[in-house]
Amino acid sequence: MRKIMVANPKGGSGKSTLAVHLASWFARNDEIVYLGDLDRQQSSRHWLAARPRHLAPIRHWDLSSEEFEAPPKDCSIAILDTPAGLHGKRLKSPLNEVDKVVVPVSPSRFDMLASREFFEELAETKAVRKDKVDIGIVGMRIDPRTHASRQLVEFLQQFDLPLVTCIRQAQRYVHAVETSTTMFDGNGFDAVERIQWKPLLDWLVRRH
């Protein structure tokens, strides 16, 4: 079983969009996928409940208990969406259970300031210090050829964290999520978008 957490302390960073797209990609590749949501708003859960039945199945990972619960035993891929402001025990409990953490970051000053504290807290956790979990950064709503992308790379070098890929801004992502689908559910990706997603997907399937 592979467990992937999508986390960022700032709201509106693209966590849910990224989480549902990853769940959809793994489901289309014949994995038994469970999608969980620690956010009180339950954005991912609502998206999943309205997902068209003819699409590759994604199962609901129930996380309604006070204690963090492991995904069901038949799961091969678990995707965990998380709320803004995740820190302390609420961060450490799931962090101790996952293999990979994907952090979506936008190249704005506010996003990078919020991310700084989050990266510092991650570095102090036992799971990260003992190299039990991999952390990868995804630049959201950004063209990798721009100055903003280079600024983000320079920022991440302070923490020795890899910028796995950058995903450009596209209204089609918003439209897909609003219809409880993803870009992976059809032929919506163009060649540039496929190139942008490939490094992240390769990184996720790579063993720790």
CATH value at residue 169: 3.40.50.300
| C-alpha–C-alpha distance, residues 147 and 151, integer Å | 6
Residue 3: pLDDT band (50, 70, 90) is very high
Count of structural domains within the chain: 1
Average pLDDT over residues 176-188: 83
Q: Say if pTM beats, i.e. exceeds, 0.95.
A: no
Residue 187: pLDDT band (50, 70, 90) is low
Residue 200: pLDDT band (50, 70, 90) is very high
What DSSP line would sit under 142-189, residue for residue?
--TTSHHHHHHHHHHHTTT--EEEEE---HHHHHHHHTT--GGGTT--
**The domain containing residue 184 runs over which residues?**
2-205
Residue 168: pLDDT band (50, 70, 90) is confident
pLDDT tens digits, 75-124: 999 999 998 888 888 899 899 999 999 999 987 888 888 888 899 999 89
Residue 4 has pLDDT above 90, yes or no: yes
